[in-house]
Amino acid sequence: MALSVVVFDVGETLVEETATYERWEAEGVTAPPAFEDRDLHADALPCFAALCARGLRLGAAGNMRAVHEEFLRTHVDFVGSSERWGVEKPAAGFFERIVEEAGAPAGAILYVGDRVDNDVVPALAAGLRAVRVRRGAHAEVESPAGTVTIDSLAELPEALERV
């Protein structure tokens, strides 16, 4: 089955959470605002452009508050949050919502995330394909055998041939 949709986890996969939280603290933010484009890892938008140029649809879905969805809407075809959907990863229902939102068979969807336990393993169990980007607090965790693992989203377009 041909790949037609790539869905990204948000925290640490797209958004550089640690730096963002540190900036908010330095700015004296008491109630965390919504993420903004400046919170994205530098490789996120170029990766989106490269995947769109290949004719792929894009999505973003993660364990996050619904307020964080809005800034991503201009960059991807659909966005989902655990808060709005009422289900969190690694629950199967979260990945069922991705399939529903994507409007494609599970086998035609690739989920890209930074965590083995919350992203890779449950996505594969739901019938999706998976790629792990090694970064953030879970970067040192070993990927399961056979998992396509990359160090940057800049590597994802070429890694598609291996999923």
Distance between CA atoms of 5 and 112, rounded to whole angstroms? Answer: 11
Distance between CA atoms of 15 and 17, rounded to whole angstroms? Answer: 5
Q: From edge to edge, which strands make up the β-sheet containing 78-81? A: 78-81, 57-62, 5-8, 109-113, 129-133, 148-150
CATH number assigned to the domain covering 5-162: 3.40.50.1000
Domain ranges for the chain, please list them.
Answer: 5-162
Distance between CA atoms of 141 and 59, rounded to whole angstroms? Answer: 25
Mean pLDDT, the chain, rounded, equals 96
Per-residue pLDDT tens over the stretch 1-57:
899 999 999 999 999 999 999 999 999 998 889 999 999 999 999 999 999 999 999
Q: What is the mean pLDDT of residues 79-94?
A: 98
